[in-house]
Chains A and B, each alone.
Chain A
Amino acid sequence: MATLTPSSEDTRIYELCVLLPYPMQPKELSEVQNEVEKLFEEAGGKQVAKDVWGRRGLAYKIEGSTEGIFVVYYYDLLPEKMEEIEHALRIMPKVLRHMVVKPPKDYQVVEFSKKYEEWKQSEQSAVETRKKDQEEELRKKMIAKQQRQTKRAEPAPKKVVKEVTEKDEGKITAEIDKLISADELEL
């Protein structure tokens, strides 16, 4: 977006941010926006840029509403007229909050409505990836545990089986008999 520079030496660039309540019919919304724009037109201001953010959650309740619509205007205006406009904005019933800021020199207009949505999507994807990673780790742990348990369970019975085969028993008994018989003779 283009940088903001006042058209003449007398005028300044002003940035106006307006907060409107969210449950609002589109007709009313356009009416309120037209009213605000009319104020500036009567004061002889030129609109440089406009950014409608749309529905957004609020950090705390403002006049009973938990969600709001932000609208950002950039106007080229004479500084003397700003006071009247501020006064009129304060009286307007549908405007929850408004703020006039003088942006710094060579300020570049950024469309924060787009930026915010992109950020939200990236945040969601980050959360999903984190969940997936956690699930994968859990699975790996479970598989490793199962393998360990099977290893422990398998070798123990094999040894027992080997020791108590019928052939072995026969061999052992034969050897013992031999020994006993030999010993008896010597004694």
Chain B
Amino acid sequence: MFNKNQQQQRRADPRLKKCPFCDREVEYVDYKDYPTLKPYTDYFGNIRQRYYTGVCLRHQKMLKPAIERARFMGMLAYRK
């Protein structure tokens, strides 16, 4: 067991993740931008928590309406 634990890779510290929107200095997340929205939804169509994606609170609040609008227009799924 001890050896196994040593072999397993350690998970990166989630606090060290950087917000990808902050790097690009995004001021508005567009609902028409499918390629950028897609990775922030999981297999079932739910919005990924920012703990896992590393998005800052400011951009997560922009992301939510964008994804909801994209869902209404049929670009993203409500539920898979």
- Judge: A and B partners, yes or no: yes
Residues of chain A touching chain B, judged by Cβ–Cβ distance below 8 Å, are 17, 19, 56, 58-60, 62, 68, 70, 72, 96-97, 99, 101, 103-104, 107, 110, 112, 115-116, 119
- B residues near A107, Cβ cutoff 8 Å: 28
In the complex, the chain B residue whose C-beta lies closest to that of A98 is B73
Number of interface residues of B (CB under 8 A): 18
Taking Cβ atoms with an 8 Å cutoff, the residues of B that contact A are: 27-28, 30-35, 45, 69, 71-78
| Shortest CB distance B69–A (Å) | 6
Q: Which residues of B contact A58 (CB under 8 A)?
A: 74-75
Chain B residues closer than 8 Å to A70, beta-carbon distance: 32, 73
A-B CB pair tally, cutoff 8 Å: 48
CB distance from A112 to the nearest CB of B (A): 5
Structural contact, B69 and A101, CB atoms closer than 8 A: yes
State in angstroms the CA–CA spacing of A103 and B69 once bound together: 13
Q: A60-B77, A107-B28, A110-B30 are in contact. Are A97 and B35 (CB under 8 A)?
A: no
Identify which of B27, B31, B77 contacts A101 (C-beta below 8 A): B31
In the complex, A99→B71 CA distance in Å? Answer: 12
- What separation, in Å, do the CA atoms of A103 and B78 have in the docked complex? 24
Q: Given the complex, which residues of A lie within 8 Å of B72, measured CB to CB? A: 97, 99
Q: Which residue of B lies closest to A120 (CB)?
A: B35
Chain B's nearest CB lies how many Å from the CB of A59?
Answer: 4
Residues from chain A with Cβ under 8 Å of B28 in the complex: 103-104, 107
CA distance A69 to B30 in the complex (A): 18
A57 to nearest B CB, angstroms? 9
Give bound CA distance, A119 to B74, whole Å. 18
